[in-house]
Amino acid sequence: MPFDASELHAVVFDMDGLLIDSEAIYLRSSVDAAKALGFHLSDDLYKSVVGLPMKAGESIIRKGMGSGFPFDEFNSKMHELLEIEFARQVPLKAGVEELLAHLAERDLPIAVATSTSRKRAESHLEHAGVRSYFSTIVTSDDVSRGKPDPEPYLLATKGLGVSPQSCLALEDSHNGVRSAHRAGLQTIMIPDMLAPTDEISELCIAVMESLHKVREQFLVS
């Protein structure tokens, strides 16, 4: 179905790597936490869990690092480093503020569908100065099945009171794109740490280099 901005009823955003420029911080904190315990966590292993809920990511990290890896100590150290990083700044991705202001001018309702916890999502959006834009926030605490399952996006569109087919999803991860597409949303990928594969590109109506481009090419009507 061709995209028609005039028929768009709502937009759902992923958070990490899409709204918040946080994936590099998560990667750095994860690698440094593993290193502090005498282990090497590869970039590829970290990237394999991008967009997944915490429990699913934990399972992959445990398997990838081996039975001798002290995951609980690693997780505690990683979150300690994350708190230090995010206490300094919760950086927004380029184009976020302009896009949110544009959607507010059009009176389009917007939501967040994220694989992170309610506490962390609310904190990050508040400290980044964008919490007030979102009428609905769906987190890992709200779903029984996280991305790539469609549940997060179905719950977000239900909260917004719109049909999935009339809603645009903005995602940066493969599992996020799969989730949004399976829920029936028209999906645009704005890659962050992960480049789109052929499979992922086919699930999107477009792959764009930035949120600036999304606003200029898809949301001006």
Which tens digits make up the pLDDT trace of 176-204?
999 999 999 999 999 998 899 999 999 99
CA atoms of 101 and 69, how far apart (whole Å): 45
Q: What is the pLDDT of residue 2?
A: 63
Q: Residues 69-86: what's their mean pLDDT?
A: 94
Mean pLDDT of the chain: 93
Q: What is the pLDDT of residue 221?
A: 58
At CA 193, angle to CA 190 and CA 194, rounded to 5? 70
Q: Where are the domains of the chain?
A: 5-21+91-218, 23-88
At CA 128, angle to CA 125 and CA 130, rounded to 5? 60
Q: Residues 117-138: what's their mean pLDDT?
A: 95
- Please check whether the domain covering 5-21+91-218 is classified as CATH 3.40.1080.10: no
Span 23-88: which CATH code? 1.10.150
Indicate the pLDDT class of residue 52, thresholds 50, 70 and 90. Answer: confident
Asked if pLDDT for residue 64 goes beyond 70, the answer is yes
Which tens digits make up the pLDDT trace of 139-184?
999 999 999 999 999 999 999 999 999 999 999 999 999 999 999 9
